[in-house]
Structure 1
């Protein structure tokens, strides 16, 4: 799933005492024995959910929960590497025309939505019209979304025009209007037709956060309250939601019969052991999932240590104590705790608003300013001091493990090269003309950088590093804080100058990360609001090409342009460490899907 990840907002409290605490800590944090009648997977997170309408949300917690409630036609095999598509609610992989402009999906019969009053007390089967309706929702001007570009750029015949008519009329979308590019063929088949070739378009249909099916009756019944009433065909359904505190999912009684298996032909020893243990067992393997939102690191760690949580993503600041030398601490290993590390398909970065009065523009001096900032910042220092080495310094926005990633690329940016940054600023006329210690624009106008972020201790530590590095090159920087939802809103409106957060992808392809600089995506994924015709041409060219050497060359050309004009400063690709209690089986982070709880057992 391509999703916007909120910046890690955990506290930096040092918990050496907590890590070495005896099991008696459990009583101190109020743990209770697990009920034996119900298998409940308890998960901790530091990110408060926003809601459960796939069109409207992009934070990590909401996206993960949605992936267990809603289902796209396709998915990725849990164990197959490289990633391999397989049917989910579809009966088979779609029919695809030779020119990649026509796609026909056939659904399996007997897939049902979870029961809901919107269905009038009758079972409601999933049909082709549900996917057609769900896709059209992205084009409805009344639905605020930052995901529209995925389908808008694909050029689904007639949908952009349908949206334009709704915008002109200042009304909602006419969902019943026929559209040449999106048609129901019969009860279980629908067709998508594109204006131009898109060889990887089918991958969008393996992302429940984009193409999960909703029923029209549910959307119309709940209206603006829809994010609190998710009704899907997935293995779980929402039972209880305490906003910003706890989400409880329970098994969907209507969920079809699905068993644990794999299409992979080559398996690691670990995967073979997992398959032997779980193969043929009906999914999901637990009765309920409770996600606890615990913002602070200290109580979140103590909840896991005291066995109140079954699963915890290790906060990077605790890595030196929990995973010294990259190995699980002996006292945790003796308890049967397991740790699983994986380089995430994500990139933490800072965007520079290319429409900003101080930082934006394509003139040589403005490009030089952004490049000087990027040269001066020290990614390795951020990784070392703030994230405790839990990541790999990024050379570009394209992440490891996807098509288009270039492991040979070495970028000069983010290396803390103060001397080169100062020389570049001097060369382009950024001098301290009034003697106050800070550089002004070549025109003599004042120059101030503005970095936005959350108001927490981790962000303050990052701000200290920004302040140190910018002061070293004579650039004034101030810091502005806000809530995550507020920051997204202001970013989409172009009101932020600089902001750091993470993007991850739900596809094994680098197109999304290149799309972050595509001009027509400004106001959606292109937070930098970068517009360069040469870049747009390079991006469009690689998008239309099938995979191969020619496309890789086009992707590298686009990547070089992005690095040259510097709308983004990539920082690092995160190393995720998942800790699980004894008895948790099968919990693993797939690089491109998020329905991990479907495959997790408590044995």
Structure 2
């Protein structure tokens, strides 16, 4: 990481106190900045005194900031604060409440959830950009029409196109098919029935099938946020570097995979803190009482460093270079939150703990088109089941994850619709004996006596597993290799940077890869999409195709929540358990820490937004530094 990769250090802790906080790490283990030289995460010029700035780190690099071209959490965290969706999630409500954002009131719903009409607030303007030539550019309904169409333009190769197709907007698929068939530019100017600007500030959607949860889609501002056509056309293939929205922040600086700085959007509309926590939520009620009525955003700047290695990321927080430790590194979890409570030495410093069971799931996926691990024949299913049974998830939890997770049984996320903590998948068992028996039965045996199994036809059996080069990933790699060694399966690990692995995954070039999916909505449908046949090559990285599963998925989209929809979900879960295109590992417990001068922080469950709801007290930070 370059010397300019993160904000400057502010009054480093005395070395003795810092080492005590770390549990007596050897001096050689410290980053150069804490062992005598300038801190690697702290060399650029900082903001002026009194500036309200939030500083923290992403542990994985972003890919860019064009909503139509991104899918990763880190990029979507940025776009959630640059672009505005029609609706938003209340910051404090649990499990969730959806409220108008740039829309006026609730949508008008008609024709059995097939017609949705939304009115926009007049007078909202985009952040300044040279493209606008010094003139205010008002947000209008046509901006949402254009933004929606961009996901279907083949040029953008949007990984989210299947999610947008899921909404069944009338006429949009025909435009996409025409561009693909005729190899002509996508037609943005032809009006379609499914999404129209009825007037300057009125937007209407017409859907082919009922979509009872369409409001959740409209609340995903990190993807479906308004964009100005003239900006996209002006920047062309550089649009990932030039996000221009109507949200509370605008991009001020970007050094790819190193540093992201955002600043308050001076053109942001007048918006006051009005979160509505549940009546029995004492913490939420206290936050709301303290901040109610404050103009948003309260912060002037947000500075993000990209630090993939856990130790420098953690030390930067302990040394007060960061205000937020977003997801405390697992290596330090047991000393930070012993038995789920904040360590006394951190509590004495006034550091705050924010701990939740995240609405996520980690998994290994198998490329169903790969000649070794893919396919639907009995011997291929047996191989994937054996790999699953040989995976010791509980050991992963107790060692690498330091107890900060619970076993996952399926793709359904905690807190989401359809989650049942009592549900048990047969593929969640750890049973190496059964794994060996399956492999033996289907001809995966060691024929040459070298200790490794071959394929049934005698050809080599080598599992190619994609990973990342950071220390935490290496810990996961080591434990999984031991799992595979124990049943005679040779595992080769190919490390690469996360964005590059993601590109290869979308192209179907990876055999096996572990990754996590954090739910962006309370509904289960996006989780099921990652195995939906038409989404292959996009969200469906395993390229799983099963007619009955797809039919269940299609039927569930049109049904309101209830017993009938839940029964279809359970059947879909059985299909996944039978074919094992994915091995579900854990739901993560995340521990966020805040410095004592951070006010109002709460990790969002859905929507990715929190910057505008957080304040930083510069005077208290300066006093702590002095």
1:413 equivalent in structure 2:
427
State which of 274, 277, 287 in structure 2 corresponds to 1:274.
Answer: 287
Alpha-carbon offset, residue 505 of structure 1: 1.7
What are the Cα deviations for residues 298-347 of structure 1, in whole angstroms up to 9, with x where unaligned?
Answer: 22222211111111121111111112222212111111111111111111
Output the CA distance in 2 between the equivalents of 1:325 and 1:535: 41
Output the CA distance in 2 between the equivalents of 1:467 and 1:336: 41
Output the CA distance in 1 between the equivalents of 2:35 and 2:250: 30
- SS of corresponding position for 1:164: helix
1:19 equivalent in structure 2:
22
Output the CA distance in 2 between the equivalents of 1:454 and 1:237: 30
2:357 equivalent in structure 1:
343
* Contact 2:418 2:566 survives alignment (8 Å): yes
State which of 189, 197, 203 in structure 2 corresponds to 1:176.
Answer: 189
Matches within 5 A, 1:22-101: 35-101=48-114
Structure 1 residues 351 and 372: CA distance shift in structure 2, 3 A: same
Output the CA distance in 2 between the equivalents of 1:229 and 1:92: 31
Structure 1 residues 492 and 133: CA distance shift in structure 2, 3 A: same
Is 1:452 aligned with 2:466?
Answer: yes
Is 1:396 aligned with 2:410?
Answer: yes
State which of 126, 131, 144 in structure 1 corresponds to 2:144.
Answer: 131
Output the CA distance in 1 between the equivalents of 2:137 and 2:168: 31
* Contact 1:46 1:296 survives alignment (8 Å): yes
1:6 equivalent in structure 2:
none
Structure 1 residues 583 and 422: CA distance shift in structure 2, 3 A: same
What are the Cα deviations for residues 57-93 of structure 1, in whole angstroms up to 9, with x where unaligned?
Answer: 2222211111111010001111222311100010112
- SS of corresponding position for 2:68: coil
Output the CA distance in 1 between the equivalents of 2:20 and 2:434: 43
* Contact 1:352 1:567 survives alignment (8 Å): yes
* Contact 1:29 1:306 survives alignment (8 Å): no
Q: Matched residue pairs, number?
A: 588
Output the CA distance in 2 between the equivalents of 1:221 and 1:251: 23
Output the CA distance in 2 between the equivalents of 1:167 and 1:600: 45
Output the CA distance in 1 between the equivalents of 2:303 and 2:498: 23
Output the CA distance in 2 between the equivalents of 1:264 and 1:304: 29
Alpha-carbon offset, residue 457 of structure 1: 2.3
Output the CA distance in 2 between the equivalents of 1:27 and 1:432: 54
What are the Cα deviations for residues 432-458 of structure 1, in whole angstroms up to 9, with x where unaligned?
Answer: 233232222233333221111112222
What are the Cα deviations for residues 362-409 of structure 1, in whole angstroms up to 9, with x where unaligned?
Answer: 111111111111011011111222121111110111111101212211
Output the CA distance in 2 between the equivalents of 1:33 and 1:489: 34
- SS of corresponding position for 1:80: coil
* Contact 1:19 1:322 survives alignment (8 Å): no
Is 1:544 aligned with 2:558?
Answer: yes
State which of 581, 591, 594 in structure 2 corresponds to 1:577.
Answer: 591
CA RMSD of aligned residues (A): 2.0
1:248 equivalent in structure 2:
261
What are the Cα deviations for residues 437-482 of structure 1, in whole angstroms up to 9, with x where unaligned?
Answer: 2222233333221111112222222222222111222222211122
Is 1:555 aligned with 2:576?
Answer: no
Alpha-carbon offset, residue 223 of structure 1: 0.8
Output the CA distance in 2 between the equivalents of 1:44 and 1:497: 30
Q: Any stretches of 5+ residues in structure 2 without a counterpart?
A: 1-17, 26-32, 618-626
Structure 1 residues 20 and 445: CA distance shift in structure 2, 3 A: closer
2:485 equivalent in structure 1:
471
1:524 equivalent in structure 2:
538
Output the CA distance in 2 between the equivalents of 1:457 and 1:412: 31
- SS of corresponding position for 1:282: coil
Alpha-carbon offset, residue 586 of structure 1: 0.9
Alpha-carbon offset, residue 181 of structure 1: 0.9
* Contact 2:463 2:492 survives alignment (8 Å): yes
* Contact 1:440 1:446 survives alignment (8 Å): yes
- SS of corresponding position for 1:225: helix
Output the CA distance in 2 between the equivalents of 1:250 and 1:21: 38
Moved over 4 A (4+): 15-18, 24-35
* Contact 1:372 1:422 survives alignment (8 Å): yes
Output the CA distance in 1 between the equivalents of 2:23 and 2:580: 45
2:201 equivalent in structure 1:
188
Structure 1 residues 33 and 154: CA distance shift in structure 2, 3 A: closer
2:383 equivalent in structure 1:
369
Output the CA distance in 2 between the equivalents of 1:28 and 1:526: 46
TM-score, L = length of structure 1: 0.94
Q: Any stretches of 5+ residues in structure 1 without a counterpart?
A: 1-14
TM-score, L = length of structure 2: 0.91
